Amino acid sequence: MYLRALTEDVCELCRDVKGYFLTLERKLGSKPGQFIMLWVPGVGEIPLSVADEEDERVLLVIARKGKVTTFIHDNVRPGSVMYLRGPLGRGFQVNSNGRALIVGGGCGAVPLLFLTKVLARNRSQVTVALGFKDRDSVMLVEEFLKYTKDVYVATEDGSVGVRGTVIDLMEKLVSDGAYDFVYTCGKEAMMKAVVLKALDMGLEVEASLERLVKCGLGICGSCSLEPLGLRVCVDGPVFKGRVLTQLDDFGRWWRDASGRRVPLPA
């Protein structure tokens, strides 16, 4: 069943990324890491993470990519109505009273914002490491700072925070063994490095994967992962590190619109 979503506000978060504050006809009730399918009648339907949820209000953060996201960027304004179904999939395991390290790259920061809020509410100590390409792609830092003062930023060109990747940041942060749990979302090559590093250090780790999600219900197989046949839309999008290391597809393959296995886009 679809929920009616009224657009209350739209803001520019960085180059080609906008935030959409929506009020739903009833509470969504998602857990951090779960996603929704956003339907724009006459245009299409796409999977999106929940960036924040409070009562009937939901924040979606949308990067301009192709047909649907470009339509939304160009046409959706306060007062516009869209529809969504969810919450879908399996989210992050939210621990209480723990010490969590969050590692996000680019738009991967989106589901990690909601996670950070809920972890902080559950009295976990949260450190956030965010990596971006350059100054124009830095986003959501102020929002993370609402929940923890320990937010570190890296940019590849050094224009904001430290110069380097979020992996460099992670290497520095984990060296003192201060964490029990690592959560990550971003480009898969980055997540693979995070997962391997965390497992190597004996830390629990979870990562949120992206694939072409069509039905969102586990039927069509467009987001299935070889060789275990796990589906991102119902078995994920969040997977445990130990499961990811058993997947040939992790960091290497995905399925194109026809379902063919092709190299992951860079």
Ligand X SMILES: Cc1cc2nc3c(=O)[nH]c(=O)nc-3n(C[C@H](O)[C@H](O)[C@H](O)COP(=O)(O)OP(=O)(O)OC[C@H]3O[C@@H](n4cnc5c(N)ncnc54)[C@H](O)[C@@H]3O)c2cc1C
Tokens of 265: 């886009």
**Residue 114 binding ligand X, by CB under 6 A:** no
Q: Which of 5, 13, 48, 174 binds ligand X (CB under 6 A)?
A: 48
Shorter beta-carbon distance to ligand X: residue 16 or 150: 16
Q: Which window, 66-74, 176-184, 193-201, 241-249, contacts ligand X (CB under 6 A)?
A: 66-74
The single-letter code of the amino acid at 188 is E
**Residue 237 binding ligand X, by CB under 6 A:** yes
Q: Which of 28, 100, 194, 213 binds ligand X (CB under 6 A)?
A: 213
Q: In whole angstroms, how close is the CB of 59 to ligand X at the nearest point? A: 10
**Residue 107 binding ligand X, by CB under 6 A:** yes
Shorter beta-carbon distance to ligand X: residue 30 or 165: 30
Q: Which of 204, 206, 210, 249 binds ligand X (CB under 6 A)?
A: 210
**Residue 30 binding ligand X, by CB under 6 A:** no
Q: In whole angstroms, how close is the CB of 17 to ligand X at the nearest point? A: 7
Q: Distance between the two ends of the chain, CA-based, in angstroms?
A: 35
**Residue 131 binding ligand X, by CB under 6 A:** no
Using CA of residue 238, residue 243, residue 245, residue 250, what is the dihedral sign? negative
Residues 163-202 as x/- pattern, contact with ligand X by CB under 6 A = ----------------------------------------
Residues making contact with ligand X (CB under 6 A): 35, 44, 46-49, 61-63, 65-70, 107, 110, 210-213, 237
